[in-house]
Every structure is written in structure tokens, then in C-alpha cells.
Amino acid sequence: MSHAAPSPLRLSTSRPLSGTVRVPGDKSISHRSLMLSALAVGESRVEGLLEGEDVLATAQAMRAMGASIVRGEDGLWTIHGVGVGGLLQPEAALDMGNSGTSTRLLMGLVASHAVTATFVGDASLSKRPMGRVIDPLSKMGAEFIPSPGGRLPLMVRGLVPAVPIEYRLPVASAQVKSAVLLAGLNAPGITRVIEPVPTRDHSERMLRGFGAELTVEEVGGERIIAITGEAELKPQHIVVPGDPSSAGFPVVAALIVPGSEIVVENVGLNPTRAGLYEVLRAMGGDIVLENERTVGGEPVADLRVKASSLQGIEPDPSIVPSMVDEFPILFVACALAHGRSTLRGLEELRVKESDRITVMAEGLRAIGATVEEVEDGLIIDGTGGETLAGGATVATHLDHRIAMSFAVASLACRQPVTVDDRAPIATSFPIFVPMMESLGAESHGAVVA
């Protein structure tokens, strides 16, 4: 993702937020729906796909490896797959933009196919380590030529037949788990992933939905996920629920702007993803689930949110995998809460699109919050509901969640906060600014073309 010049963003509001909105489709499910549809034989259809830059990078990569992927004018995506084992040699490097999910999962797919692929990305993605995926995939026989530090640009040469393995995850990572399972799709025999700490289970749910033979059992408090290789995937019609990570931004905005009441419709609430809402409710957040239902095997509900007096919290680190991407916006909520919040066990945040611990600490201090940074998290003394000073310019470091978190924080500041560049928001939430405007926020700054 390259941009000629940064496009600053400031949000402000002079009244409570109100209205009903829908956030874009779940990013994790969108990525996986494209990949598995591309490996099925026949025509799959996907409704509600997130059309952000990260997911579009996945679509383009699957096209480059032989799948037909077309978006209809009605927003319905149609995919004709090549079958497991049928990926073709891409003619050029696969440009992943800012998408770590695309990169790590596609490395898994390529690892067990007769394909050599080069992965490239933007400046932010090129700083992110890929070693945790390279390690298990190398054990399956794939060859890697990464840049120094296990980073992009990186070349993968897949092996057919790949070697099925049993792999215990050294860190809780749905991306690593998914990469190994996707490689196992085209490996003879059974590939097993042992998960000491549960992570989001979209891959398991969707692999089963496409007809893969996959089992999950719990032994001694660990999850053992086994997939039988040389699978034959059947095409599906997928309806993507709203992304719970994206929904966190309007939800926290409504909680911290006095008098607000909003409804966020069609939010996916998979228990391995819904930790943010559990924590916000424990802080005293008035969040009511309405119209609860199941769509495509995923629990979904509408969220009715009212402005609330939040209390500081010290969540158990065991909840981290179910909300690892939502901590930046939770930090904002904690900065406006009553009392101290102690947020630990967050080492994973240091290897996201940016070092989200340091970047959030610096930005929160700049807008008047009281924050102490520790190695594995932040300790935040809240304002007790009082507005923050604001007025500062905050660096996003090409990180979409940093940009949106400070845009939301600006709504609870005496002076608007300037986000240095709104462009990264397009990776996951291209309608973020107009959606916030529809709830009553006002945006200022140059508009991204």
C-alpha cells in the first residue's frame, strides 16, 4: 500500500452518538472464505465479504494461482476453485499489502503445493517476523528464502507430497495454526496441531463446512486439531457476519460519549473472538445482545450500546487470544474509566502492524492520559469519565487499528486529536469515517481519494 502523501483525520462531536449501523464483514472469515472457495471444485458464493485492502490482496493472490474470483454488481462474490492440489504457479510476486493474515495463511497453502511463490508487502508488513510460520512449514518440507530476520520479501517453494506433522504451538496464534492446517489439506495422512491456549476457530469451522475431515478433541486442557489430507472440498454459499473487531470502534465510541445510544447490527460473536465485549460489560458497559442467531455456523447478534460509567479492570491474561486485536480500542475505554486498569500478557501486540503497546502508550500520553508501559502491557489510570485534553497529532505507523482507536478517542477529548494518516483504515474498515459520521461524528481533514 503506497500513498503519495498522508491524509490526516480528526473526528469530533458536539452531541451524543445515535443511530443503527452495520460494520463490514469479518476479516478472518472473509480471508478464509476466499482461500477455501479457491480450493473447492465448483462454484462458491460469498455474501458480505469485507472489501478492504487486506482481503482484496487475498483475492488477487488466489486469482494469480488459478482461481476465478468475480464480484457482482450486487456485491455477491463468485469463486470457481481449482481443487486441493490444483494451485498454479503465479507469474509474478504476490503482493500482500499490509495483510499479515493473507501472508501467513497463503504460505501454508503454498507449502504443500507444487508452487514457488514470492511474497512482498508494504513497509509495515515487511517489518513483521514470519519465523513462527516458517518453522512448522519447513518441517512439512517446504523451503523458504526470507529476508533477514525471517521477513518479507520471502520466497516459498512448496513440496508435493508434503510431510504431515504434529505441531505444538509455542505461542497462541490462530494464523500459525491455520497455516499448518491449510498445508495439511494437501499432505497425505493426518496433520495435527496441538493448541495449549485456544485461539479463534474460524479455520476449523470453515474447513469442516467445506467438507474437510477435521476433528477437535480436548486432552489435558489442550486442544488437538487433526485434519486428514488430500481433501476434496465442496463449494459453499457463505454469508459473512459483521467483524467483531471492527464493531469495537463504534461500540466504545458510544460507551464514552455521554448520552449516546446506538445499535450495531449483525456482529459475529464467535466465543473465540468476543472477549472485548465480555471485558467491556465487566467494566460496566451497557451492551445488550438482541436478535441472537446462528449464521453459517457462527453466532451472530445485534448490539445495543448506551453510554456508560466504566470502571477500571484487570482482565485475566487467558482472555487475550479472544481479543488480541481489540486491545488498542480497549486502552481508549480504560483511559476514560474510573480507577486503574492493568492490562498484561500482551506480548503479541509488539509484533502486530506496529508495536501496539508502545505506540498506544505514546499516543495516549500525548492526548493527556496517564499511562505506564510495561514489557507485556499497559497500566492506565482513567479520568473517571472526564474528557481528555486531546489536541495532539498521533502517529499511526501504518496501523489501521491505531488510526481508528485515536479517531474514537478524539470524540472524548476537549480538543480534537489529529490522526496523521487515515489511509491505513482502508485495509480493514473502508467505511469507518462515513459510518461514524452517520452516528453524529464530524470529520475534518483531507479526504482520501
Residues taking part in catalysis: 325
Strand, coil or helix: what is 152? strand
234 is in an annotated binding site: no
Annotated binding residue 32:
yes
Known binding residue 127? Answer is no
Q: What is the distance between the alpha carbons of residues 268 and 289, in angstroms, rounded to a whole number?
A: 11
Task: Find the DSSP H helices in 69-173.
Answer: 100-111, 131-139
Q: Is 201 a known ligand-binding residue?
A: no
Contact 378, 353 (CB under 8 A): no
Please check if 175 is assigned to a binding site: yes
Q: Is 14 assigned to a binding site?
A: no
How many CB atoms neighbour CB 358 within 10 A?
14
b vs e for 410-421, b when ≥16 Cβ sit within 10 Å of the residue's Cβ? bbbbebbbbbbb
Q: What does the DSSP assignment read for 212-234?
A: --EEEEEETTEEEEEEESS--BP
Cα-based distances in Å from 23 to 11, 93, 130? 18, 32, 30
Rounded-to-integer distance, Cα 386 and Cα 338, Å: 9
Binding residue per annotation — 308? no
Strand 222-228 and strand 413-415: the pairing is unpaired
The helix/strand/coil state of 309 is coil
100 labelled ligand-binding:
yes
- 139 among annotated binding-site residues: no
Binding residues for phosphoenolpyruvate: 27, 100, 128, 175, 356, 401
Known binding positions: 27-28, 32, 100, 128, 173, 175, 325, 352, 356, 401
| Annotated binding-site positions for 3-phosphoshikimate | 27-28, 32, 173, 175, 325, 352
